[in-house]
Amino acid sequence: MWLSLVSAITGAVIATASSAFLDHHRWRRDQAQQLTDTRRVLYGEYLAALSKARNHFRSLARDLDIDPKERGASARTSFVPCYDGRYQIAITASAKVVAASEETFRKLRNIRDVAGSGALAGDERYAEGRSEYEVALAKLRKAMREELGADRV
């Protein structure tokens, strides 16, 4: 009689422990998927903000007729949305993505300053800044893709 009771209790403990383990595992998997989904959206939005700002700086660098004060103000205004993404990246992404994001942000900010100060598309400072930004952007996209597992699919 005791043997059946002990067997029943042991079975109940094993079943409960197994269920708890599986539930915890499922919860961790769901949390990881949710983080990946959040990062995917954030990274897309941040890259879009960087691209919009970069395209605006390109337009400024090609505009020969814009007033210098208006040029600087326009450059600064178009860069503002990049700050939001930068801060969100800092608290959501891995250290590797954060570092690449910071480098890209700084390179684009340099382009903002150069284009806002009146440099044109053919100026050496502008061309050098653009090249440095493109290299940093490629590193950022690579780090983001690795973190999201985009190449494992």
Query: Looking at the domain assignment, is residue 3 inside a domain?
Result: no
Burial of 57 (0-12, 13-18, 19+ CB in 10 A): buried
Tokens 């340099």 belong to which residue? 110
| Residue 48 pLDDT | 98
Query: Looking at the domain assignment, is residue 59 inside a domain?
Result: yes
Measured between alpha carbons, how far is residue 41 from residues 55, 85, 141 in Å?
21, 11, 14
Low-confidence ranges of the chain (pLDDT < 70): 1-2, 5-6, 8, 11-13, 15, 17, 19-25, 27, 30-31, 152-153
Query: Looking at the domain assignment, is residue 123 inside a domain?
Result: yes
Total domains, the chain:
1
Query: Looking at the domain assignment, is residue 45 inside a domain?
Result: yes
| Residue 56 pLDDT | 96
125 contacts 119 by C-beta, under 8 angstroms: yes
| Residue 10 pLDDT | 74
| Residue 9 pLDDT | 72
| Residue 27 pLDDT | 65
129 contacts 17 by C-beta, under 8 angstroms: no
Give the number of other Cβ atoms within 10 Å of residue 26's Cβ. 10
Query: Looking at the domain assignment, is residue 116 inside a domain?
Result: yes
**Which DSSP letter does residue 118 get?**
T
Domain that holds residue 55: 36-148
